[in-house]
Structure 1
Amino acid sequence: MELPEPPNESDCCNSGCNPCILDVYEAQLKKYQLCGSSPKSEAINAVSPTSYTIFALIERKQVNKSVCLYTFKYADCKDKKPNCLGHKPGQYFLLRAKDTQVCPAAFKKI
């Protein structure tokens, strides 16, 4: 397990999320402190629970009036290259994008 990267104070949206990104960081830090001396796993997760990872949007497909399918490619320039996307079903992803045209049809009034 790697030492978790602390989130920026601006990563907290102050809307009362449960768990908050700051709480997630504290939990990850405790896990690291408990098992930080154990051997590292060979799996390198592309998604961090405490910091943003850079992905490039390579395809946006309109499935129906209210659903879009997005395909992303890992585009971060860090030294370590991930070999897995470690997330569990039901977990949420917080996306921050520069593109304002997310899925225009999904936001039209029906």
Structure 2
Amino acid sequence: MSDNEQDWLALRPQEPSPSQCCGSGCKPCIYDVYEKELAQWERAKAMQDKSLLLGKKEQSNNSELNPDTFTAFSVSSVEQLTEDTYQYKFELPGNSSLRLSLGQHIVLRGVVNGLEVQRAYTPISPRNAEGYFEVLIKCYEAGLMSKYIKTWKRGDVVFWRGPFGGFPYQPNKETSLEKLPWSYQENTYTGRLSEDLMKTIVNSCRRRPFVLICGSSAFNEDMSKYLKAAGVEENSYFVF
């Protein structure tokens, strides 16, 4: 292999591993970024022009969230709430606000052992909070991103992008709670949700339900499959 070929191989983007993906279905995903950078590398290699690779990393320092570009935010405080849970506060310029909608999340990027890792988190600060936003994070002993997050201290700069998702919630027409216990009595089930149990629950509803799903990627996939098997249309459930 020639020195030129070795140089180009060294510049080839590295395909992400499953552990690097946040699994939240955000767009662009880390795999989308990889495909884009791979195509850029292939074009540059075909033209033998390495200058085409300049600026391929997409990040910004303008302190405005963007779904396509990672933006730098400064950590203003770190508060440990439990043995493994921390509340992080990030600065926003002036009196600006994230103003995220219900169910929206943002994606964090970190580098651990030379690997780029992305994870999704939902800010807990009020929607109209000005000049800051806060994120509550539970750190896991073996978590890739947790290793990076545990190093944060005041003044550190980290990169976020978003927002993604969102649940189109509209208040219902009930004006009083007094009749709800009689109108919405619930049967309680324990154990793992199966396709048969899902059909039983759906068929017991007086009206076609609207279902909210939140869990791991595998859980979300299973629940979506079970709901479809129970006759629930895609526009009648929402995956966070």
Greater share of helix residues, 1 or 2? 2
The verdict on a shared fold, with TM-score over 0.5 as the criterion, is no
* Normalised TM-score (structure 1): 0.42
Higher percent of residues as strand? 2
TM-score if structure 2 supplies the norm length?
0.22
Which of the two has higher C-alpha Rg?
2
Looking at both structures, which has the greater relative contact order when contacts are Cα pairs under 8 Å and sequence separation is at least 6? Answer: 1
